Amino acid sequence: MAVARAARTLAAAGVEAARAEAELLAAHVLGVPRGRLALAAGLTAGQLDRYAALVARRAAREPLQHLTGSAGFRHLELAVGPGVFVPRPETELLAGWGVDQARLRPGGAPSPAEPGCAESPAAGTAARAEPPAAGAAEGDAAAEAALGGPLVVDLCSGSGAIALAVAQEAPAARVVAVERSPAALAWLRRNAADRVAAGDRPVEVVAADVTDPELLSGLTGRVDVLLCNPPYVPRAVLVPPEVAAHDPDEAVFGGADGLDVIRPVLARAAELLRPGGVLGVEHDDTHGAVVPALLAADGRYEAVEEHRDLAGRPRFATARRRREAVPVGPGHAEEAGGARAWQTGSS
């Protein structure tokens, strides 16, 4: 009864999946999975009060994940709240592509004994590959060589969704997560610590601005897989109340055309990737042509592809770093005053 009433309240407030969210909140209050709600005892008086308060906050368009304190992402439950971007289901596609790419690299396939091989979401809680040696965070080639697996970098890591999914599902990979916001970094470090406690290989967290031309300078030419879900919404776009009031501005908006972070990331990624290394970058659904065009124009990428989400919208672009010597795109040659007009594919 309480759930039906809550669903009506949420629907009237403009919440799209009102019934599902009313059930999820009830399950949260009862401490049971949503699928077991029908079997759970009814809400006590105290629980009813708590439920009513949560429903009122959701009706005021606070994100569901802020109310429950967690967001599901692939096989993970991530802690989220004020100050960090709530990971979205569509980004699971980019993360999955990254997992597949990491597993394809030499030394990247998990052995049958490793949890990353298993299909089930419960996988990933047993012992993992050796963590990197202390101090191996940036540019420690010896540590990288000793570990053998692919090097994966997640730029604009937020809660750590992509980085931690790769660490769980491609356990042979060394994963580096980069984030600039102090508030987001706190959530990222908390989630990373939780995953280590659960048995995953540690992710290396780096506090940095991904638009810095010197980003991760110690990893130049060594990255196998580079993933990025940057802020990409054009400034003038109206976003739902949950996003406008609760996702950090710097996590959502990418300047006037939405490409302020994407442009420098594509340029720096071409330097960080090893020849044959791959890049995957999520973008606004209006950028299904422009991001592949930027990749093609750079000149250092090949095999540029656009990927759609389950709703058929353009969602992320991928490309491979060329192996051969290539002309750097016109913009780069100009920026460098022509000094770097040509760059070898091997570094």
Pick one of 101, 191, 229, 318: the residue that binds ligand SAM (CB under 6 A): 229
Instruction: Return the residues of window 39-68 that contact ligand SAM according to CB under 6 A.
Output: none
Cα distance between residue 342 and residue 300, in whole Å: 10
Residue closest to ligand SAM, measured at CB: 158
For residue 116, give the 3-state DSSP assignment: helix
State the helix-helix crossing angle for 2-12 and 18-30, rounded to 10 degrees: 130
Tell me the one-letter amino acid at 111. Answer: S
**Mode of pairing for the β-strands spanning 342-343 and 326-327:** antiparallel
Query: What is the C-alpha to C-alpha distance for residues 286 and 299, in angstroms, rounded to an integer?
Result: 23
Tell me which of 68, 181, 191, 318 binds ligand SAM, using CB under 6 A: 181
- 249 vs 305 by CB, closer to ligand SAM: 249
- Which pair of tokens denotes residue 249? 């501005």
Spatial distance between the Cα atoms of 87 and 12, rounded to a whole number of angstroms: 25
CB of 72 to ligand SAM, least distance (A): 12
Q: Report d(CA 174, CA 190) in Å as an integer.
A: 19
Residue 214 is a binding residue for ligand SAM (CB under 6 A)? no
Measured distance CA(216)–CA(206) in Å, rounded:
9
Q: For ligand SAM, which residue of 194, 250, 257, 335 counts as binding (CB under 6 A)?
A: 250
Tell which one of 26, 156, 165, 170 touches ligand SAM (CB under 6 A).
156
Judged by CB under 6 A, the number of residues near ligand SAM is: 23
Of 31-39, 152-160, 271-279, 330-338: span binding ligand SAM (CB under 6 A): 152-160
Options 39-47, 100-108, 225-233, 315-323: segment touching ligand SAM (CB under 6 A): 225-233
Burial class (CB in 10 A: 0-12, 13-18, 19+), 164: buried
**Applying CB under 6 A, does 226 fall inside the site for ligand SAM?**
no
For residue 251 the two structure tokens come to 């996590």
Applying CB under 6 A, among 34, 57, 61, 180 the residue interacting with ligand SAM is 180
Q: Please report, as ranges, the residues that interact with ligand SAM according to CB under 6 A.
A: 85, 87, 91, 156-159, 161-162, 179-181, 184, 209-211, 229-231, 248, 250-251, 261
